[in-house]
Amino acid sequence: MNWTELAPFASIAALLVNLGALAVAYGKMTQKVDGLDEKVTDNEAHIERALVEIRAFEMEATRKFATSESIARLEDKMDKVAERIDRVLELRRQ
């Protein structure tokens, strides 16, 4: 056999090597995608836990500390009470 007769066999061997490399690359890619899917699931779980913690903290903070809205409401009520006291005092002076 000479080299020209071996050329088709060499081409077939090269094709098989390339197909094997593609199969290995596909397997590696599939592994990485699966790993990324797991990471996304873990991250979603961490985000959900963090949101639960934040909501709990917000609820505790609103129970313990006055917010600007509650202070504004108190100021309005105090102004109304002060106006009523002023009216009562005015009426008593007359």
pLDDT, tens digit, 9 for 90 and up, residues 35-89: 999 999 999 999 999 999 999 998 888 788 877 888 888 999 999 999 999 998 8
| pTM, to two decimals | 0.48
Query: Of 69, 88, 70, nearest to 80 (Cα)?
Result: 88
Q: What are phi and psi of 67, to 5 degrees?
A: -100, 165
Which positions ≥6 away from 74 have C-beta within 8 Å?
66
Residue 6 confidence (pLDDT): 85
Give the domain range for residue 66: 3-93
Q: How many independent structural domains does the chain possess?
A: 1
pLDDT, tens digit, 9 for 90 and up, residues 10-36: 899 999 999 999 999 999 999 999 999
Record the tokens describing residue 80, joined without a space: 């109304």
Residue 68 confidence (pLDDT): 82
Total number of residues shown for the chain:
94
